Amino acid sequence: MSPILKSGNYGKYNGIEYKITTDMENNIKILTKDKSKIDHTFEDKYNSGVFTKIVNPSELVDCVSIETYGIIQGEKVQILQENEHEFQVATGSLLIGEKLNLPRVDRDMWLGWVSKSGVKVIEEKISINPHEL
Q: Tell me which residue range forms the domain holding 76.
A: 66-126
The reply to whether 107 and 74 lie within a common domain is yes
The reply to whether 12 and 60 lie within a common domain is yes
* 133 residues of the chain, pLDDT tens digit each: 345 688 999 999 999 999 999 999 999 999 999 999 999 999 999 999 999 999 999 999 999 999 999 999 999 999 999 999 999 999 999 999 999 999 999 999 999 999 999 999 999 999 999 999 9
User: Around Cβ 32, how many Cβ atoms within 10 Å?
Assistant: 19
The reply to whether 54 and 100 lie within a common domain is no
| pLDDT value of position 119 | 98
The reply to whether 58 and 73 lie within a common domain is no
| pLDDT value of position 5 | 85
- Residue partners of 106: CB distance under 8 A and separation at least 6: none
| pLDDT value of position 109 | 98
User: For residue 1, is it within any domain?
Assistant: no
The reply to whether 53 and 94 lie within a common domain is no
| pLDDT value of position 3 | 52
Number of compact structural domains in the chain: 2
